[in-house]
Amino acid sequence: MKHIKKETLGTYGLIFVALFWGLGFPALKVVSDTIPTFYLIGLRFFMAAVLLCILFFRRLKEINKALISSAFLLSIFLFLCYVCATLGIKYTTSAKASFFSCLGLLVIPVILRLFYKEKISNRVTISILICTAGLFMISYTSGMGFYLSAGDLICMGCSVTGAAHVVITGRVAKNQDPAMLATVQLLFISVWSFAAAIFLEDFPETITPFHWSVMVFLSVFCTAAAFVLLCACQRYISSARAGVILSIEPVSGALFSAFLLGDQLGVNGIIGGAMIFSGMIYMELGESKRTDSNVVTYVSPNKADLSLCQTCVSLSQTDSHSQPDVHLSQIKENTPSQEHQE
């Protein structure tokens, strides 16, 4: 039951991540006119990293070479994701940019299949297609067209790098401290952003207290809290499922923008949002049933199972000297006999 609880909490956590990122859309719209893009990204991630260092200063000693390497790789993909999103929208329409930048949920299964030989369940595949159709409904406008421009291809790069970030996070987060992984990753991204800003942008002469307050909000909730949750929750949720759950980000962004900034959602937005939520619920209902059936099943061990247990124990002892010695005789003693089971 503990496994089920952690998986459920992981799902809820990723929903909060998507909501935080969605809430970041209107916040970014407010500050983007005052602070240049790369300085904005650099300040946002640097402030978030400093906050995490303060909150988790006792765990900073847990940072090791493996964590730094993982955080470095993740920061590269996430920084490229931001760069593609920033450049792509300059050469295409806003509607097409929002659609092609959010296709990561389609790319994730391809990455898993090509590089990790993982198969995606039929239910998750159907959910991905439903959510993709929903994204199209949200983004489609009458003048959108069906041709690909240079900006569209760049925005697809945003989806590819974002999907790679989700997949790699799912792989490395299981063996790393999620808070430290997020902290080091955010520090790296702030470095890349400030380096780009120095060569490409001018720092604004004045930033009002209101804009600083919005930056603090972006740093605390949409960055620090969101990325710690992402690293923690992906330890229990597969990358394919995470991609579907995170697809509610543009929906929440449209809803928050409508409530806070007065943006028009429209009929297409409502239908598309409903499709995305329906796809996510359809997937989660099926996955929860599958997990329940796996957890409650009990299979009586036989000699082959005992041999496999002994092999696994031997392998684990080679990886960690702290593992206690376990012998086949002990396993047999703790295993109920066939007569007792009957």
Q: Could you tell me if 231 and 105 lie in one domain?
A: yes
Sign, CA dihedral 189-191-197-200, equals: negative
Provide the pLDDT for residue 149.
78
Sign, CA dihedral 296-300-302-307, equals: positive
Provide the pLDDT for residue 33.
82
Q: Could you tell me if 142 and 17 lie in one domain?
A: yes
User: CA 82, CA 197: separation in Å to the nearest integer?
Assistant: 13
Provide the pLDDT for residue 17.
94
The pair of three-digit structure tokens given for residue 42, joined into one six-digit string: 């650099």
Q: Could you tell me if 313 and 242 lie in one domain?
A: no
Q: Could you tell me if 164 and 199 lie in one domain?
A: yes
Q: Could you tell me if 214 and 92 lie in one domain?
A: yes
Q: Could you tell me if 205 and 336 lie in one domain?
A: no
Domain boundary among 259, 279, 296: 296
Burial grade of 118 (CB within 10 A; 0-12, 13-18, 19 or more) = middle
Domain boundary among 296, 312, 333: 296
Q: Could you tell me if 174 and 264 lie in one domain?
A: yes
Q: Could you tell me if 138 and 229 lie in one domain?
A: yes
> How many structural domains is the chain composed of?
2
Q: Could you tell me if 330 and 197 lie in one domain?
A: no
The pair of three-digit structure tokens given for residue 25, joined into one six-digit string: 């859309």
Provide the pLDDT for residue 338.
40
Q: Could you tell me if 215 and 268 lie in one domain?
A: yes
- Residue length, the chain? 342
Q: Smallest Cα–Cα separation from 224: which of 52, 22, 46?
A: 52
Provide the pLDDT for residue 98.
74
In order along its 342 residues, the chain shows pLDDT tens digits of: 455 578 888 999 999 999 998 888 888 888 888 899 899 999 999 999 999 999 999 999 989 999 999 999 999 999 999 888 878 877 876 667 777 888 888 899 989 988 988 888 888 899 999 999 988 888 777 766 666 778 888 889 999 999 999 999 999 998 899 999 999 999 999 999 999 999 999 999 889 999 999 999 999 999 999 999 999 999 999 898 999 999 888 888 888 888 887 877 778 888 888 998 898 888 887 766 665 444 433 334 444 343 433 434 344 444 444 444 444 344 344 444 443 443
Q: Could you tell me if 333 and 203 lie in one domain?
A: no
Domain hosting 140: range is 2-296
Half-sphere exposure of 241 (CA within 13 A, CB side): 26
Q: Could you tell me if 326 and 257 lie in one domain?
A: no
User: CA 232, CA 14: separation in Å to the nearest integer?
Assistant: 9
Domain boundary among 280, 296, 312: 296
Provide the pLDDT for residue 42.
94
User: CA 304, CA 337: separation in Å to the nearest integer?
Assistant: 15
Q: Global pTM?
A: 0.76
